[in-house]
Structure 1
Amino acid sequence: MTESIEASVVVPTHSERRWASLRRTVASAQAQRVRPAEIIVVVDHNPDLFERVKAEFPEVTVLENESERGASGNRNTGAFHARSELIAFLDDDTVAHPTWLEHLAAPFGDPAVVGAGGLIVPAWERHRPSWLPDELLWTVGVSYAGMPTSIAEIRNVWSASMMIRREAFVRVGGFRVGFGKLGDQNRPEDTELCLRISAETGGHWMYVPDSVIEHDVPLDRSTFRFFLRRCYAEGRGKVQMAGLLPRDQKLGAEQDYLRRTLPRAVAHNLKAATLGRGGFHALRAVTVIAAVAAAGFGGGVETLAGMHEPGTATRV
């Protein structure tokens, strides 16, 4: 008989376009070597999809988003209904490796750990763009160069593969509703949650590379145009998040990434190009510069918008 763990797995979903990937996600959660106590699929204001999911997965708890539209409210609905002490989140376009859950739960023997996240690897629909450097793989929602290669404390993790203590999650009210990914907005609701929980509880987060999921990267997210839009949106989102943080809480990880990781990426790729190791290295160096420019432009746009919005004082 398969061993179980006192953890609920929450999978938010919103569109029939992801039906095939949702089925794979649920199947991977069910196939864990150490099975979860329950699997909860939450449908975001889509009655037809809700009925279809209920019919397809009778052994899974299926809920409708009780909050406003968006991933934050969707995840909150599932988490607040969860009955386990630990809550794990999986996106509906991911596939968890069989040991994902047990590895993700391992750090929670330490009561100071409030949450954990795992390694996210890309599942390219076609192939990885040659111009995309390892340091910028976060633009397609996966782990990137510069992250720890062994289990380590980390400032924040991503909600595509996240586990959290239910007590801490409920204590802060969950994800900030209205602050997240919806339409053309791409605000870092998972980073904001991690920072808020750490500030409220004094606990810390762990990164567990042995806990692995694969994240779909469709063809339309492998284009340079999408890449620039993603960097621009990230710049705007980080400025919005900074406006929610206490004044003494800095975005140190972002500053270190800009000052150290990205300059090293430019230098490494330019050196490789000059040594004849492939022209794509020159393209990757240019891509890093374009990413910084797009994010900076987005941050500037958001700062100006905050200054002109009545009653708003945006801090950076």
Structure 2
Amino acid sequence: MTPSAGQPTISVVVVSRRRPEALKRALVGISQLRYPAFEVVVVADTAGLAAAKDLPFGDQLKTVEYETPNISAARNRGIAHAAGEVVAFMDDDAVPETGWLHHLAAPFAKPEVAAAGGYVRGRNGISFQWRAQSVDGTGAGLPLAFTGDDPVVLTPDGQRAIKTEGTNMAFRREVLAELGGFDPAFHYYLDETDLNLRLAAAGHKTAIVPRAEVHHGYAENRQRTAARVPRDLSEIGASKAVFLRKHCSDGQRDTVWTAFCRAQRRRLLAHMVAGHIMPGDVRRLMRGLQQGYAEGLSRALGQMPELTRAAEGFAPLEVKIGPQVVIFGRFWRKKTLLREAKDAVQDGKSPSVFIFSRTGLFHSVRFDPAGFWVQRGGLFGRSERRQTLFRIGGFGARLRQEFQRVAAQRLLSETLLPKRLQTKQQAQKRSRT
């Protein structure tokens, strides 16, 4: 497929290490994106590449083997193999909504936009893990408040940059090449924040795109457990040292570092009180933080690679995507509904499944590795956490409400609902056709 006017070609870069199953799930989600021309570059260890190549579309992926635990260097490898006009990044423990690239690409129709970032939902698939922030040379973020769902193009003010989140961000490739990509001195943590500040220093504009949503699971890695309990803080300390050397004034660094250490200690004490770690672990992790900081003070800075255009050219993912369908029912039919969803995937369709019980249970949303979205919860329970604790209503009204909550992000048409649940205008339009 060829993009229409204003739709750039996009390279989606996914870096993975020691999480082959999470990577497969992420790639299945990416394969269902509804965007006319995008390629996928996977930078991973041996196990990750084997998992990626085992997928039905594995032979269409651009794959780069990389074993070193350095997120910046790995992303630069991805950029070097990316041939799209725009390079988007997503983590291997995340899954994009079907309309992710459709929405994330839209601001790039304006030539002054160099970067874009979307919203990130957390493990329950409902609450937001990340929306929008600005950031300064100390690394301190401030929330940016927006009304509505339309993209907002922001210009840095000279003191603060527009922050993008690493699991949901995109940049013009030519701008990345000019800036040298990601600084490999940041092995883990603050890598994209450093790039944001360099973008701001160059005067580039960034768009915040609320409807470009990614679901992020925070899978375990060598730095943290699956419950987000720290295993090692040395790389965080090293990256903080590098960041302050590059962006913070000499007179501020000690104060900023001291405040950062106190915040990390409070975080560890909270985990200790919760029973996740022992007092000795707090001491060990804080020692690692200090040792990492000392090591980061001596790391070489600014050793940026040359990011030439990919020699192999643009290799769009050509996966036949069938129609989207909505499958819904009550909790006692769960097994049947999930079986219907798996059958629909086998038929080339993209299902969204809604399963409601007659309870007040909170809702959750997840992407099943088989290739479909499923939302579960009580008919009277909350989905958005700002809603009232207990809601009265019938099944049809709740289905329509939850469908509308995700329709724009997932590019769902209201015609997928039963006719009785469609708006009057949509039902009339459907009857005319």
For Structure 1 versus Structure 2, the TM-score category normalised by the shorter chain is 0.5 to 0.7
Give, in whole Å, the separation in 2 of the partners of 1:244 and 1:69: 22
Cα distance, 1:215 vs. partner? 0.3
Aligned partners of 2:13 and 2:43 also within 8 Å:
yes
1:276-309: CA deviation from partner (whole Å, max 9, x where unpaired):
xxxxxxx9xx99xxxxxx9xx89x94798379x6
Greater shift in the superposed pair: 32-41 or 146-155: 146-155
Give, in whole Å, the separation in 2 of the partners of 1:2 and 1:155: 31
Query: Which position in structure 1 is the counterpart of 2:119?
Result: 119
1:248-283: CA deviation from partner (whole Å, max 9, x where unpaired):
9x99xx9xxx9xxx9xxxxxxxxxxxxxxxxxxxx9
For the pair shown, the structure with the greater C-alpha radius of gyration is: 2
Alignment partner of 2:183 out of 173, 176, 179: 176
Q: Secondary structure at the match of 1:82?
A: coil
Query: Which position in structure 2 is the counterpart of 1:92?
Result: 92
Aligned partners of 2:116 and 2:164 also within 8 Å:
yes
**Match of 1:189, as an amino acid?**
D
Question: What fraction of aligned residue pairs are identical, expressed as a percent?
Answer: 27
Query: Which position in structure 2 is the counterpart of 1:109?
Result: 109
Q: Does 1:53 align with 2:56?
A: no
Q: Secondary structure at the match of 2:180?
A: coil
Q: Secondary structure at the match of 1:244?
A: helix
Aligned partners of 1:80 and 1:170 also within 8 Å:
no
Give, in whole Å, the separation in 2 of the partners of 1:192 and 1:175: 8
1:163-221: CA deviation from partner (whole Å, max 9, x where unpaired):
0010110111111113131xxxxx3101001212332x321222211110000135834
Query: Which position in structure 1 is the counterpart of 2:197?
Result: 195
Give, in whole Å, the separation in 1 of the partners of 2:206 and 2:52: 32
**Match of 2:49, as an amino acid?**
F
Higher helix share: 1
Give, in whole Å, the separation in 1 of the partners of 2:2 and 2:29: 15
Aligned partners of 1:2 and 1:34 also within 8 Å:
no
Give, in whole Å, the separation in 1 of the partners of 2:193 and 2:299: 25
Query: Which position in structure 1 is the counterpart of 2:169?
Result: 162
Give, in whole Å, the separation in 2 of the partners of 1:37 and 1:72: 22
Q: Secondary structure at the match of 2:26?
A: helix
Aligned partners of 1:8 and 1:40 also within 8 Å:
yes
Q: Secondary structure at the match of 2:217?
A: strand
Q: Secondary structure at the match of 1:243?
A: helix
Query: Which position in structure 2 is the counterpart of 1:290?
Result: none
1:54-105: CA deviation from partner (whole Å, max 9, x where unpaired):
343112111223x954211111111111111111111111000011111111
Query: Which position in structure 1 is the counterpart of 2:244?
Result: 242
Q: Does 1:222 align with 2:223?
A: no
Alignment partner of 2:13 out of 10, 13, 19: 10
Cα distance, 1:106 vs. partner? 1.5
Give, in whole Å, the separation in 1 of the partners of 2:216 and 2:247: 29
Q: Does 1:79 align with 2:82?
A: no
Q: Does 1:62 align with 2:63?
A: yes
TM-score by length of 2: 0.48
Aligned partners of 1:114 and 1:164 also within 8 Å:
yes
TM-score by length of 1: 0.64
Give, in whole Å, the separation in 1 of the partners of 2:14 and 2:190: 18
Structure 2's unaligned 5+ residue stretches are: 134-142, 155-160, 264-269, 275-282, 301-433
Query: Which position in structure 2 is the counterpart of 1:148?
Result: 145
Give, in whole Å, the separation in 2 of the partners of 1:49 and 1:23: 8
Give, in whole Å, the separation in 1 of the partners of 2:2 and 2:73: 32
Structure 1's unaligned 5+ residue stretches are: 129-133, 182-186, 263-282, 288-293
Give, in whole Å, the separation in 2 of the partners of 1:106 and 1:32: 15
Aligned partners of 2:237 and 2:292 also within 8 Å:
no
Give, in whole Å, the separation in 1 of the partners of 2:78 and 2:39: 11
Q: Does 1:23 align with 2:24?
A: yes
Q: Secondary structure at the match of 1:123?
A: coil
Aligned partners of 2:103 and 2:211 also within 8 Å:
yes
**Match of 2:198, as an amino acid?**
R
Aligned partners of 2:15 and 2:91 also within 8 Å:
yes
**Match of 1:198, as an amino acid?**
A
Bigger relative contact order, structure 1 or 2 (CA pairs below 8 A, ≥6 apart) = 1
Cα distance, 1:233 vs. partner? 6.9
Change (3 A) 1:303 1:88: closer
1:214-236: CA deviation from partner (whole Å, max 9, x where unpaired):
0013583436x43x977x97576
Aligned partners of 2:104 and 2:117 also within 8 Å:
yes
Aligned partners of 1:12 and 1:92 also within 8 Å:
yes
Give, in whole Å, the separation in 1 of the partners of 2:172 and 2:88: 9
Change (3 A) 1:55 1:196: same
